[in-house]
Amino acid sequence: MPMFKAILLAGTIAVASPFGAAALAQEIVNVAGIEATRVVIAPPRTELARIIKAGLSESYAATQKGSRAYTQTQKLYFFYGSRHFEPLWLSQDANGKVVFSANAEKIIDVFKRSELEGFRPADYLTANLDPAAAGTDPAKLAELETAFSAAAIKYAQDAFGGRVNPLDVNPTWTIAPKRINEAELLVKLAGSDDPGQILLDMSPKQREFIALRSVLSKFYDGSVIDAAVTIPEGSSLKPGMKDERVTLLRQRLDVPEPEIPETAGAEAQADITYDEPLVEAVKAFQSGLGLAADGVVGPATVAALNGGAATTKEDIIANMERWRWEPDDYGRFEVEVNIPEFRLWIKKDGEVVHTTRVVVGTPKNQTPVFNDMIQHVVTNPYWNVPSSIKANEIKPNLLANPGYLDSQNMEMLYGGKVVNASAIDWTQTNIQQFHIRQRPGSRNALGQVKFLFPNQHDIYLHDTPSKSLFARTFRAYSHGCVRVENPMEFAGALLELEPKLSRETLEASFGATERWFNLENKIPVHLSYFTLRVDEDGTIRSYGDVYGANKKVIELLGL
C-alpha cells in the first residue's frame, strides 16, 4: 500500500491536539497492583477492513522504532484497531452501495469552496475520489479510503503551513516550515461532528490574513469591487498649481470639490487648483505610508496612490500564502519589520506603541526574512566588517591607499592583536585571514547603538550616521542589516518591560568603549515581507515588490 506509506511516513511537527485513551484503543488495567496501559485491537470483520489492516501493519513494521513516524503510525494503527479497521470516509447507503460518509461529505464541501482560501479545488477533489469507480472491489475501496485521507491531509497542510517552501522563494528566508501531525489530524477529523470546520480552522488567525481572505471572497461571490481611480503620471504637482489631475486626486482621497458660487453661471468650470484641503489630504496619505509628507505629488506618491487602489487577486493570494508561514503567536510584546514598507513597529498586546522608518538591504544585499529574539543592546559598537565587504571594498581601497583603514577609523587584527595594514603587501596577501573592525565613534557605520538577535545571517537593527536616507521614499540601501531612524526613541519603547535598563541607562554609557547590555526579557522580532497591508478599517495599502519575492510566490503558486 504505497499511498498509505506516503501518508504515514512524512516528517511532521505536531499540532496541539488532545486525544483521549479511548480514541487510541487503550485502557488502564491493574496487573498485580500496578497500573498499566493495555492496547485493545479489534479484529477486522470485513474484507475492506482486512486490507486496511494489512496496509497499516506494513507501514508500522517498516518505520524505525522511537521515531516520530513510528509514533504517528502506531497511533493511527491503534485508532483503526479500535474500530475493527473499518474505514473513516466510506459507508453504505440503504441499497448497500458504497458512498462517502457524512463526515467525508462535509470535508468535500470545504474542498469545493477552497477558492475562498486562495486554493484550487482541483488540488483536493482529484479524479480518484470516486466511490462509483471503486464499485465493490475491496482493493479499490481501500485505495479510495487512503486517497481521501491524503486529500484531507494535503488541505490541512496547505492551510496550516502554506503550499510554497520559503527557501524556494529566497534561500536566505530561514522560516521553519510548519507541519501538521497527520495521524492525529485524521483521528481528530474522524471523531468530530464537523470535520470541515476543523480544516477551516487550520488557517491563520491573524487579523490581516482574515481581512485579505474577506477581500478575496469578493472576486468570487459576485460583489462589485470599487473601480480604482488611477492618477496619470506627469510633472510634480505642487500646492497652488492648476492641473487636470486635481479632480482625480479629490476622488481618490475623498476630498469634496470646492463650492462654485451661484453667481458664476452655468458655464463655470470645476476648480482644478491644488488647494489647501487637498494638500492636507495628500500629506496625510504620504505620512501614513512613510513617504515624505511634503504635499508634493511626485512619481513616488503617484505610484503609491495607484498601487494602493489596484489590488489584484494574485497579490492577495500570494500575501495570504506568506501569512501561513508566520508564527501563530507573535508574542504580547514584539517588534515587526516589513521590508517592502521600509518601516518598523513595536506592538504590545497587538497595539502599536512605537513606529519608525527603517533602511533595509539593497536588492543585491537583501535583508532576509526570519523570526528571532532580541537579547542584547550594545552601545558604542564596533562594526565588524563582513567578508564580502573586506574583499569587494576594503582590499581595493588598501591597494590604492595603504592608510585607508586609519582614514575610516578602522583597525585590522590577526590572532586577536592589532596589526599595521599599511605594512602588508596586499597584492600577495589574502585579506580574509584578518579581522577588520571600525572603532566606536561618530562615523561608525552602526552609529551609537545596535540591537542584537544572534542569527546565522549576522543581521541586526542599528543606528546609522547616514540620516539623509530616511527622507527618501525608497529605502533599500544597506548591506542587509536594518537601520533605524530614531534608535534612541526605539530603545526607550523597546526597554519598557526591562526592570534595570532604560534609554537613559544607554545614553549614560555613550563614549569610546563598547558596552553590552543583556535583556532580562527576550523580545520576539519578526522580519517579514508583505506587499499588501490591511488597516483596521479594511483599507488595503500596497507596497513595491522591492526584491521581486511577491512575483516569485505568484509564479510558484501557478497563478
Q: What percent of the chain clears pLDDT 70, i.e. is strictly above it?
A: 88
The pLDDT, as a whole number, for residue 174 is: 93
pLDDT range class, residue 442, cuts 50, 70, 90: confident
Decide: residue 517, CB within 10 A, 0-12 exposed, 13-18 middle, 19+ buried.
middle
pLDDT in tens, 182-236: 878 988 998 899 999 999 999 999 999 999 999 899 888 766 455 456 788 788 8
Residue at grid coordinates 469578493: 218
Residue 527: count other Cβ atoms within 10 Å of its Cβ: 25
Q: Return the H-helix or E-strand segment holding 521.
A: strand 515-528
446 SS3 class: coil
Cα 218–221–224 angle (5° rounding)? 55
With CA atoms as reference, report the closest residue to 138 among 90, 101, 190.
90
In this prediction, residue 30 carries a pLDDT of 52
Q: How many C-beta atoms lie closer than 10 Å to residue 65's C-beta?
A: 8
pLDDT tens-digit map of 417-441: 999 999 899 999 999 999 999 999 8
CA–CA separation, 326 vs 319, rounded Å?
Answer: 11
3-state secondary structure of 31: strand
Q: Give dist(CA 142, CA 105) in Å, integer.
A: 18
Please state the rounded mean pLDDT for residues 436-459. Answer: 93
Q: What number does CATH give the domain 327-556?
A: 2.40.440.10
CATH 1.10.101.10 placement within the chain: 245-260+269-309
Nearest to 514 by CA among 433, 372, 411: 411
Task: Assign 368 a pLDDT band (cuts: 50, 70, 90).
Answer: very high
Measured in residues, the chain has a length of: 559
Q: How far is CA 76 from the centre of its chain?
A: 32
Find the range with the poorest average confidence among 260-274, 395-409, 539-553: 260-274
DSSP track, 96-155: S-EEE-HHHHHHHHHHHTGGGGT--GGGTS-TT--HHHHTT-HHHHHHHHHHHHHHHHHH
What is the per-residue pLDDT for 555? 96
Q: Name the segment(s) of the chain with CATH classification 2.40.440.10.
A: 327-556
User: Looking at residue 448, what is its pLDDT?
Assistant: 95
CB atoms near residue 454 (< 10 Å): 12
CA-wise closest residue to 320 among 395, 235, 219, 402 = 219
247-294 confidence digits (pLDDT tens): 888 888 888 887 665 554 444 456 789 999 999 999 988 887 777 788
pLDDT of residue 378: 97
Q: Is the domain defined by 245-260+269-309 classed in CATH 3.30.365.10? A: no
Instruction: Quote the radius of gyration of the chain (alpha carbons, Å).
Output: 31
Question: Taking Cα atoms as reference points, which of 540, 444, 556 lies closest to residue 211?
Answer: 540
Write the CA distances from 539 to 201, 208, 288, 306, integer angstroms: 25, 11, 12, 14
417-419, strands of its sheet edge to edge = 383-384, 435-438, 410-414, 417-419
Model pLDDT for residues 45-64, shown as the tens digit of each residue: 888 788 888 877 887 788 88
Partnered with residue 410 across adjacent β-strands are 438
